[in-house]
Structure 1
Amino acid sequence: MTTDPMNPAGRCPFHAASPDGASLTRQDKLAPQPGEPGPGQAVPNERGLYRVYDFQAARDILRSDAVRQAGFMAEAATRAPGLGRAPVLFAEGEAHHEMRRSTARYFTPTQVAHYEPMIAALADDLIGKLAQDGEANLDDLSLKLAVEVAAQVVGITDSAVPGLERRVMAFVEHGSDSEPGAPQPRGRGGKLGALWRQRQLLAFFLLDVKPSIAARRRERRDDLISHLLDRDYTDTEILTECLTYGTAGMVTTREFITVAAWHLLTQPELRADYVHGTEKERHAILHEILRLEPVVKVLYRRALEDIRTGDTFIPQGSVVALSVQETNTDPGTVGEDPAQLCPARPLPRGVQAPVLSFGDGSHRCPGAFLAIKESDLFLRRLLIWNDLRLISPPEVGFNETVKGYELRGLRVGLGGGPAHA
C-alpha cells in the first residue's frame, strides 16, 4: 500500500452519516444477488453473461487484448451503415491506439489549462443566473455546463437552432435498455422505438453536427471535428464520433457534478475542507466521491478467446459485465471501510484514486482529467457561497443506455454574497 502525505496515517477523515455507507446512488440490482458469484468468481447467468465483481479480475479483463467493447451501443455502432472506420471508443488494436495518440492532445493537462478560462466563465454565468433567480435544479446547471464544455472540445458549436442539450439527452435517455447479448425488442414497440431513435439521431446530425462540419470545412479550429476532417472522415463517421465522444462526456460529467454537490451539501465538514483545500486536496475528495459513485456502474466486454484470470474463467464469445460499483469497494484493494468516503485513502501501487470509475486499459476514459477539472472549477465557485442551501434532494433513477444513475431535481437556493471571497 502507498501512503499519501494528505492522509499519512491512512485513516479516513470523513465517514458518511448513513449506516449503509457513503453511496447515495446505490443500485441494488447491480450488486451480487443470492446465488450469484462473489469476488474472484464468475459464472454465467441464463443468457450466458458473466458478471465480475473482483477488482483484480476486472482490471485484468479491461487490460486484455482478448476482449472488445460490448457496451454503450458499441456493437450497434460498429455495424452502422456508411462507416468505413469504427468509432475510436469502440475500435480495437492498432487503429484504436493510433487514433487515441492523435487525439490525446485535446485532453492533456496543458490543453485542459487552455480550456480553463472558458469553463470558469461558463460556471460564473450559471452561478450568476442562480443568484438572480434564487433557486434552480443543480442537475440542470450541470447539464448546461457539461454540454457546453464537451461541445467546445468536440467542435459542436455551430448549431442551426438552440437546444443542443435537449437533443443530446433525448437520444441518451431513450436509448437501448438491454444488455449486450439480450434479445432485442420485437413487434410494434421495438420498431417504433428504433424509428424514434433514428429521428433523434437525424435531428442531432442536421441541426448540430452538420452545421459544425460545414463551418470547419470553411475554416479549421482546434477541436476534434477539425482533426477528423483533416483525416478525411466522412460526415457519417464524424457524426458517430460526436455521439460517442460528445454525449459520453456530456452525460457522465453532468451526473458526477450533481452527485458530488449532493455529497458536499450534506456533509458540512467535507464541504469546508473542499472549499478551503488546495487543488490536490479538492481533487482527492472528488476522486473518492467518484470511487463510491461511479457514473457508469457496469462495463461490458466480449471475449475474443478463452480468458482465465485468477479463479475466473470466461469462454470465448461470452459477454462479461464488470460491476464497477463492486470492484471499487473491493476491500482487498481499497482497504478497510471500503464503502465509506475517505479522501486520499491509501491504495496499492498502480491503483488510481477513482479505482475503475474511468475504466482501465486501452479504452480508459480519455477525458478523465478534463472531467475532474471541469467539475472542480464549477463546484468550488458554487460551494464557496455561504448561503447556498440544499432545498430538496434529487430522485435517483437509472439510465439504461449508460448503465448508470440519473439524478433529477436536486434543488438548491442561493442569495446574498460569497462567504469566503
Structure 2
Amino acid sequence: MTQHPTEGTCPFHDSNGPDAAIPPLTRREDQLSKSGAAIEIDGRGVYRVHSFQAARAVLKDEGVRQAGFMSEMAAKMGGLKQPPVLFSEGETHHSMRRDTARYFTPTSVAEYQPMIAALADDLIGQLAAKGEVNLDDLSLKLAVNVAAQVVGLTSSRLPGMEQRITAFVDGGGDSEPGAAQVRSRGAALKQQANLALFFALDVKPAIQARKKERRDDLISHLIDKNYNDVEILTECLTYGTAGMVTTREFISAAAWHLLKNPELRSEYLHATEKERHAILHEILRLEPVVSTLYRRAEQDLTIDGQHIPQGSLLALNVQEANSDGQAVGERPLEVCPGRSLPRGVQAPVLAFGDGHHRCPGAFLAIKESDVFLRRLLIWNDLRIVTPPRVHYNEVVKGYELRGFRVALGAGAAAH
C-alpha cells in the first residue's frame, strides 16, 4: 500500500465526486472549542482541553488522576482494599499493569487468533443465513466473547452476558464528574439490579470455577493476588465496559467508513495486515470511541502556559485533539492512512489514550476488528440497508451506533 503524505489530497473519497471526502461520521460539533484556544475554562470551572499537545501533556503528567468513567462509583463501593487498575495511580498502578500486560501482548493476541476467527466465521454465517442483520448486534457478540476469554468470564450460568453488560452501561452515568446528578430512585435500583445479575450469573461462577482450577486469564490472576469478590467484580466491570463496549462501537464505525468508501474498502481488502491495521488506526483517529477523557489535578499544574489549580477537573476532547492539524498535518478530517506524524505519536493519536493509563488492549481491539471486518467485507454484494443512528453514552463518554442494518444481495445502498 502506498504511504500517503499529509500534503495534498488524500486519495480516498466518497463516490459522490473526487473532492467529496467523507467527513467524520460521529463528531460532536457541540463539544468543539468556541474560541480556538488550546484550553478553555467553562462556567463550572472545568478546564476544557482541545489541542493535541495540551491533551497529551495532561495524560502523561503524574500529577493528575483518573476522573469519570465510573471512577466516582468505584470510589464509593465498599469492600475495595485494592483499587481497580483503571483508577489506581503511582507504583500501585504500574505494578498492576506489569502483572497483567502479558494478556495483551502481540504474542498472547496471536494465541487468541483461532478463537477470534471461529467467532467471526460464526457471526458472518449468521449474516449469510439471514441475509440481513443489525451489524451492531454482531459486533457486540464478537467484542463481548473475545474480552470474556481474556478476562475469564466464560462460566456464565445463563447465556446473554452481552445484554447484561450493555444493560449496565446503558443504565446512565454522570453527565460529568462532579456535576449535580438527578436520578430517580427507580433508575438507581435498576442499576443495582443489573450489577447484581452480572455478578450472580457471570462473575461469581467464573470465580468459583477458577478457584477449583486456575486458567490463563485475568480472574485467575486476581485470585492469586488475593482479590476479593467485590474487587474482581469491579475489575470485570472496568475491563468489560472498556474492552467490550468500545470495541463494539469501533467495529461498526470502521465498517460504516469502509462500506461508504469503495476505494478505501478495496485498498483494505488487498492490503497486508500491517497496512490494514494502518487503515483501521486512521479511522479510529478520526472516530475515537471515547470522545472525552477526564482527569483531576492532584497538584497545581502548568499545561501549555495555563495555570491549573490543584483539585481542578480537566476534560480532554479526544476527537478535537486527534484532528489537530499541528499534530496530524493537513486535511485532518479525512481518512488518510500513512500520515507523517511527529516522533512518538502513534497512528490512532490519542484514541487509546496516552501515558500510564493508555489502553492496554489496544492491539487486541485492532486485531479482532480486522479479523471480523476482512470476513465481512469480502462479500462483494454486502450493502448498507439502514445507516446507524448516532447516540452518545454518558458512561463511556462516547458514541453509540445503533440500527446499522446490512444485507447481502442486490439493492441500492443507503448513505
Which TM-score band applies after superposition, normalised by the shorter structure? over 0.9
- Contact 1:42/1:313, CA 8 A, preserved across alignment: no
Which shows bigger deviation, 11-20 or 254-263? 11-20
- Map residues 299-318 of structure 1 onto 2, 5 A cutoff: 299-318=293-312
**CA gap 1:10/1:282 in 2 versus in 1, 3 angstroms:** farther
What pairs up with 1:67-78 in 2 under 5 angstroms?
A: 67-78=64-75
Partner residue in 2 for 1:157:
154
> Separation in 2 of the partners of 1:68 and 1:302?
5
- Give the aligned partner of residue 117 of structure 1: 114
SS in 1 for 2:320: helix
Q: CA shift at 1:8, angstroms?
A: 5.9
Structure 1 position 42 matched with structure 2 position 43 = no
Counterpart residue type for residue 31 of structure 2: L
Q: What residue is the counterpart of 1:334 in the other structure?
A: 328
Q: What secondary structure is seen at the aligned counterpart in 1 of 2:399?
A: strand
Deviation at 1:21, TM superposition (A): 5.4
In 2, the alpha carbon distance for the partners of 1:310 and 1:24 equals 30
Matches within 5 A, 1:55-70: 55-70=52-67
| Deviating more after overlay: 243-252 vs 290-299 | 243-252
Whole-angstrom CA distance in 1 between matches of 2:6 and 2:167: 47
Match of 1:29 in 2: 30
SS of residue paired to 2:39? coil
Q: Secondary structure at the match of 2:76?
A: coil
1:222 paired residue number: 216
Matched residue SS, 1:78: helix
Please list, as runs of the form range in 1=range in 2, the aligned pairs for 1:261-340 lying within 5 A after superposition: 261-340=255-334
* Equivalence for 2:235: 241
CA distance in 2, matches of 1:210, 1:234: 11
Offset from partner CA, 1:343-393 (integer Å, 9 cap, x none): 111111111100000000000000000000000000001101111111110
- Describe the shift of the 1:48–1:9 C-alpha distance in structure 2 as closer, same or farther (beyond 3 A): closer
Which of these residues, 226, 244, 247, is aligned with residue 232 of structure 1? 226
After superposition, what is the alpha-carbon deviation per residue over 1:204-245, rounded to whole angstroms, capped at 9, x for unaligned? 000100001101011111100000001110000000000001
* Amino acid corresponding to residue 138 of structure 2 in structure 1: L
Q: How does 1:348-363 map to 2 (within 5 A)?
A: 348-363=342-357
Question: Could you list the per-position Cα deviations for residues 285-322 of structure 1 after superposition, in whole angstroms to 9, with x for gaps in the alignment?
Answer: 10010000000000000001111122322111010000
Q: What is the number of equivalent residue pairs in this alignment?
A: 406
Amino acid at match of 1:346: S
CA distance, structure 2, for counterparts of residue 326 and residue 163 of structure 1: 36
Gaps of 5+ in 2: 411-415
CA distance change for structure 1 residues 114 and 57 in 2, over 3 Å: closer, same or farther?
A: same
Partners of 1:120 and 1:367 in 2: how far apart?
18
Contact 1:119 1:377 in 2 (8 A): yes
Deviation by residue 1:140-196 (Cα, 9 ceiling, x = unmatched): 0000000000001000011111110000000001121420110122xxx43322221
Which letter maps to 2:171?
H
TM-score by length of 2: 0.95
Contact (CA 8 Å) 1:6, 1:281: kept in 2 or not? Answer: no
Structure 1's consecutive aligned runs of 4 or more residues displaced over 4 angstroms after TM superposition are 8-11, 16-21
For the 8 Å contact 1:130–1:413, the answer to whether it is kept is yes
Q: CA RMSD in A?
A: 1.7
Which residue number corresponds to residue 87 of structure 1? 84
CA deviation map 1:224-269 (0-9, x unaligned): 0000001110000000000001221110000000000000001000
CA distance in 1, matches of 2:86, 2:381: 42
Of 164, 168, 171 in structure 2, the residue corresponding to residue 167 of structure 1 is: 164
Instruction: List alignment gaps of at least 5 residues for structure 1.
Output: 417-421
Correspondence for 1:376 among 345, 370, 379: 370
Which whole-Å CA distance do the structure 2 matches of 1:5 and 1:190 have between them? 55
Separation (CA, whole Å) in 2 of partners of 1:212 and 1:415: 42
User: What is the TM-score normalised by the length of structure 1?
Assistant: 0.93
Q: Partner of 1:14 in structure 2?
A: 12
Equivalent residue in structure 2 for 1:180, among 150, 171, 177 = 177
| Whole-angstrom CA distance in 1 between matches of 2:83 and 2:180 | 23
Q: Deviations over 1:102-158 (max 9, x none)?
A: 000000000000000000000000001110111101000000000000001000011
Quick one: percent identity of the two aligned structures? 66
Matched residues in 2 for 1:219 and 1:70: separation? 36
Give 1:31 deviation, angstroms: 1.5
Q: 125, 132, 136: which is aligned to 1:135?
A: 132
1:169 and 1:246 map into 2 onto residues whose CA distance is: 9
CA distance in 2, matches of 1:109, 1:39: 39
Q: Does 1:144 align with 2:141?
A: yes
Give distance in 2, aligned partners of 1:310 and 1:248: 29
